[in-house]
């Protein structure tokens, strides 16, 4: 009876574990599906932001520099080798004495128990020959019977400094992969990407608002801007009119020329100048193609300012006399 109860409990445990695995797989599939839809949404947003920025750049006349140019080392700069690797090994050159290369690898050791072999117990060089222990001049795998002397390990004697010892390579230079960083949560990264996309939208809206402002008096209304420009040109015409009045008083300019410039010439120049300035610097970089320039208001301000200023000048002169 206990065996059947144990079997039933095990079956229930396996069924519960299978249901839990199915629920976990379904939840993981839903999570992956949500992540995929979030990625597609962010991709569409980034594509729309890129198109908006490109349109804004073309509108204001700014072009982005090319970013697909390959990055190469400057001419004359040698390619650096990894730390601990000689330059001729980094460049693919042959191995030299003092550095382990493909051509100067040490010969494999002799069999265990042979005279002079690694791990042997004799330490003697040849048959009947005695070597000084510790020097290694006649020992090693090359001293085994049947092996040439030329294949012995290179040894450094006392006073020899022209040979360099082999350099130990680091784990990174030897090709050992570095420690992997901790895995990040895709949902967290997508949330950060969504926040940065919101920030990009906010800055893009601010850029559009700034691009809709003209270069000339950007914080002013179009009416106040037009009045200021026309009055400025009218004031310049009044100064020129005063110069003509002084020139007419000394006989340099005739009265007909003075009245012609005062009633028609200077007001027309002021109106045309204000019209051109409003069309050139009163136009926003993006938005309306033709800004309001109020020609009727400009005509009244320019063609009335110069004659009224001349009348005021005459009244002031007669009052002072």
Give 314's DSSP letter: H
pLDDT at residue 275, rounded to an integer: 94
Is residue 315, in this structure, part of any structural domain at all? yes
**Residue range 47-52: average pLDDT?**
88
pLDDT for 230-255, tens place per residue? 999 999 999 999 999 989 888 888 88
Give the three-class secondary structure for 69: coil
pLDDT band at 25 (very low <50, low <70, confident <90, very high): very high
Least Cα distance to 131 among 110, 112, 149, 105 occurs for 149
pLDDT at residue 130, rounded to an integer: 44
**Residue range 126-130: average pLDDT?**
42
CB 84, CB 235: distance < 8 Å? no
Q: Per the structure block, which two tokens stand in for 75?
A: 């001419």
pLDDT at residue 177, rounded to an integer: 56
Percent of the chain with pLDDT over 90: 26
Strand pairing partners for 284?
Answer: 214
**What are phi and psi for residue 284, nearest 5 degrees?**
-70, 155
Q: For residue 140, how many other CB atoms are within 10 A of its CB?
A: 21
The percent of the chain in helix, strand and coil, each rounded to the nearest 5, is 55, 0, 45
Q: How far apart are CA 73 and CA 69, in angstroms?
A: 13
pLDDT band at 82 (very low <50, low <70, confident <90, very high): very low
Least Cα distance to 216 among 281, 151, 298 occurs for 281
Look at the block and give the residue holding tokens 């599906």: 33
**Residue 303 structural domain:** 222-320
pLDDT at residue 215, rounded to an integer: 86
Q: Per the structure block, which two tokens stand in for 298?
A: 């400009």
**Residue range 171-176: average pLDDT?**
52
Is residue 150, in this structure, part of any structural domain at all? no
Is residue 257, in this structure, part of any structural domain at all? yes
Q: Is the pLDDT of residue 104 over 70?
A: no
Query: Which residues, including other chains, have CB under 8 Å from residue 282's CB and lie 6 or more apart?
Result: 214, 216, 222, 225, 226, 229, 291, 293
Q: Is the pLDDT of residue 151 over 50?
A: no
Q: Is the pLDDT of residue 123 over 70?
A: no
Is residue 90, in this structure, part of any structural domain at all? no
Is residue 290, in this structure, part of any structural domain at all? yes
pTM of the model: 0.50
Longest dimension (CA), the chain: 143
Query: What total number of domains does the chain contain?
Result: 1
Cα torsion angle, 275, 277, 278, 279, sign:
positive
Q: Is the pLDDT of residue 287 over 60?
A: yes
**Residue range 306-321: average pLDDT?**
87
pLDDT at residue 155, rounded to an integer: 52
- For all residues of the chain together, what is the average pLDDT? 73
- Please give the residue that has the higher pLDDT: either 14 or 145: 14
Q: Is the pLDDT of residue 224 over 90?
A: yes
Integer CA distances (angstroms), 219 to 168, 222, 279, 295, in order = 69, 9, 17, 21
Q: Which secondary structure element, helix H or strand E, spans residue 268, and what is its range?
A: helix 266-281
Give the three-class secondary structure for 112: coil
Is residue 278, in this structure, part of any structural domain at all? yes
Integer CA distances (angstroms), 307 to 2, 4, 301, in order = 121, 119, 11
- Please give the residue that has the higher pLDDT: either 142 or 7: 7
CB 266, CB 241: distance < 8 Å? yes
Is residue 151, in this structure, part of any structural domain at all? no
């Amino acid at each position: 009876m206990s065996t059947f109860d144990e079997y039933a409990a095990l079956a229930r445990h396996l069924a519960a574990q299978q249901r839990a695995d199915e629920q976990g797989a379904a939840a993981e599939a839903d999570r992956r599906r949500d992540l995929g839809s979030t990625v597609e949404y962010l991709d569409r947003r980034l594509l729309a932001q890129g198109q908006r920025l490109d349109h804004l750049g073309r509108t204001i006349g700014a072009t982005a520099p090319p970013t697909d140019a390959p990055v190469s080392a400057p001419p004359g700069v040698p390619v650096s080798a990894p730390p601990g690797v000689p330059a001729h090994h980094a460049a693919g050159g042959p191995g030299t004495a003092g550095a382990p290369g493909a051509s100067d690898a040490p010969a494999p050791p002799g069999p265990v128990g042979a005279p002079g072999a690694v791990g042997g117990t004799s330490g003697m060089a040849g048959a009947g020959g005695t070597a000084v222990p510790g020097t290694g001049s006649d020992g090693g795998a090359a001293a085994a019977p049947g092996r040439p002397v030329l294949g012995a390990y290179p040894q450094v004697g006392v006073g020899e400094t022209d040979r360099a010892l082999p350099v130990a390579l680091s784990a990174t230079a030897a090709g050992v992969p570095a420690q992997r960083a901790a895995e990040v949560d895709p949902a967290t990264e997508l949330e950060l990407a969504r926040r940065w996309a919101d920030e990009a939208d906010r800055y893009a809206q601010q850029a559009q608002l700034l691009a809709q402002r003209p270069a000339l008096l950007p914080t002013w209304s179009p009416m106040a801007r037009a009045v200021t420009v026309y009055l400025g040109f009218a004031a310049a015409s009044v100064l020129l009119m005063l110069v003509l009045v002084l020139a007419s008083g000394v006989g340099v300019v005739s009265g007909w020329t003075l009245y012609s410039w005062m009633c028609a010439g200077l007001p027309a120049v002021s109106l045309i100048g204000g019209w051109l300035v409003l069309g050139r610097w009163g136009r926003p970089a993006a938005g309306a193609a033709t800004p309001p320039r109020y020609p009727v208001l400009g005509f009244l301000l320019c063609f009335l300012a110069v004659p009224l200023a001349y009348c005021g000048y005459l009244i002031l002169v007669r009052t002072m006399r």
